[in-house]
Chain A
Amino acid sequence: MEQIDQDDRKAQLLSGMERLKERFVQTLPEHVSAFDDLWDCLAEPTQTAAAVSEISKLAHKLHGQAGSFGFPRIGALAAQVEKEAHVLMRAEGDVETDLLEELMAALLDEIEDNVQAE
């Protein structure tokens, strides 16, 4: 009886995770669009700091979600974007965003590959 309960729960967990994974994939285009908008803001000196801060928040959220829903590579790339955004947020004066943009490009490529594959 207990074994049946455990099996039921395991099946329930797997189906729940699958459902959440599908929902997560559906949110990915929104993430891409949000990153694109922020990317445009990076080039505007008056908006760079705010854009970097938003990129950090978005990447943080994606980092936490992606790995948990079975997309470790997206999670790892989001973590790198978040880390670089933090470095820039601590920097003083004009910031150099080349590395951040490179990492964002890699992240967006990975997201697109995954959206197409799903």
Chain B
Amino acid sequence: MTSMKLLVVDDDPMIRELLKEILVAHGYQDITYAEDGEHALKIISREATPFDCFMFDIQMPNMDGIELCRRTRLLAHYIETPVIMITAMNERDYIDRAFNAGATDYVTKPFDVTELISRVRLADRLQSETRLRQDVLAANTAQSKLRYSDPVIVKDVNGFVSQTVLENFTKTSLQNRTFPMTAFGIKVRELEVIHAGARPDEYKYVIADIAQVVAETLVGTQAFMAYIGNGRFICVCDRSRLLSEDELQSELLGVINDDEYVWCEDVETSFSVVLGPRVSPGLLERGEEIKFVARAIEDLDVVAAGGEVRQGKSIGKKIMSVFAA
């Protein structure tokens, strides 16, 4: 039995009943149901004990699930609450819009019970971790200052999500083969100086300013991005629409050093930009599809430390090396 409190929103009563059967059979008992977005918002606003997880159907009459998700995210209590989107459609536009509106994950109808429950359990785990982190921060104000290594969730910048959401988006997009994907990291070393010398809020503002620059530089590439701590941003986007490395470096460096875009009241500094190598999903990584995102982060760390990234051999070279031996 789990104590997670869920709100399920779907205009189809048969689907609501089906979800109830599946969720209750897997130990989720505290479930509220709504038949549309307006009804859901009323329930959310009047509920004394907040929900731990939402499941929103995307295609509903009047207010669709994406708009409902966007409005839910505006509520202070639900900035980080997991939102699982449900739809019969696998279209890229829906996926992009849902994640952009703040969705955490995505399941498709017809339901695969195992897949559905694994998504709900992941949301359960995420919510428990979030609550634990909030409890620690509330209990000890001395720890309320973020560490330099802590990730920061950037709000209100198009395409910026948490690392978990970025990984879910990447996985879904890969499964649906929506576009040729690449991942790369960006490191801004001076964030360490700002972290050390600026007020916590100011540190977050600077990260948000830099995030805005990154998002605007990558506009048109379907990019999803996250700030993952230690001055690092990770980006996943359509490699066919990406600027060359030199162009990207020069564009970022120029804008990031423009006071109009990035400004720190507490610490005066100019910024440098380290770009990590671009890493694409490996053909031999089936089942571990999002490993390339982790490799992009590792490669960024190597480059930022002044090292050289070991280039993997292509499949052709690997086969040839076997023959040569």
Contact = CB atoms under 8 A, between A and B. Distances in A.
Interface string B3-16: 00000000010110
B26 interface: yes
B109 interface: yes
Contact of A68 (B18, B25, B27, B59): B18
Interface stretch (A16-24, A34-42, A96-104, A105-113): A16-24
Q: Among A24, A65, A66, A79, find the residue whose CB has the most chain B CB atoms closer than 10 A.
A: A65
Contacts of B111: 67-68
Contacts, number: 53
B21 interface: yes
A7 B109 CA distance: 26
B109 A67 contact: yes
Contact of B109 (A13, A17, A20, A68): A68
Interface string B91-121: 0000000000000000001110100000000
Interface string A2-13: 000000011011
B110 A68 contact: yes
Nearest to B61: A57
Interface residues of B, number: 17
B233 to A, nearest CB: 37
Given A60-B59, A65-B15, A16 B25 contact: yes
Interface SS of chain A? helix
Given A13-B21, A13-B25, A20 B14 contact: yes
B22 interface: yes
B14 A17 contact: no
Contacts of A23: 14
Interface in A62-76: 63-69, 72, 75
Nearest to B11: A61
B266 interface: no
Interface residues of A, number: 23
A69 B110 CA distance: 8
B88 A60 contact: yes
B265 interface: no
Contacts of B21: 12-13, 16-17, 20
Given A16-B21, A17-B21, A64 B27 contact: no
B25 A64 contact: no
B17 interface: yes
B88 A64 contact: yes
Q: Among A24, A61, A64, A75, find the residue whose CB has the most chain B CB atoms closer than 10 A.
A: A64
Q: Among B14, B18, B27, B110, find the residue whose CB has the most chain A CB atoms closer than 10 A.
A: B110
Contacts of A60: 59, 88
A18 B228 CA distance: 46
A23 B59 CA distance: 23
B150 to A, nearest CB: 37
Nearest to B57: A64
B17 A64 contact: no
B109 A63 contact: yes
Nearest to A76: B110
Interface of A: 9-10, 12-13, 16-17, 20, 23-24, 27, 60-61, 63-69, 72, 75, 79, 82
Interface of B: 12, 14-15, 17-18, 21-22, 24-27, 59, 88, 109-111, 113
21 contacts: A9-B25, A9-B26, A12-B25, A13-B22, A13-B113, A16-B25, A20-B14, A20-B21, A23-B14, A24-B14, A60-B59, A60-B88, A63-B109, A64-B110, A65-B110, A66-B110, A67-B111, A68-B110, A72-B110, A75-B110, A79-B88
Ranked 9 nearest A-B pairs via Cβ? A67-B110, A13-B25, A16-B21, A64-B109, A68-B110, A64-B88, A9-B25, A63-B88, A68-B111
Given A63-B110, A65-B110, A69-B14, 19 more contacts: A9-B25, A9-B27, A12-B21, A13-B25, A13-B113, A16-B25, A17-B21, A20-B14, A20-B17, A20-B18, A20-B21, A23-B14, A63-B109, A64-B12, A64-B110, A65-B15, A66-B110, A67-B111, A69-B18
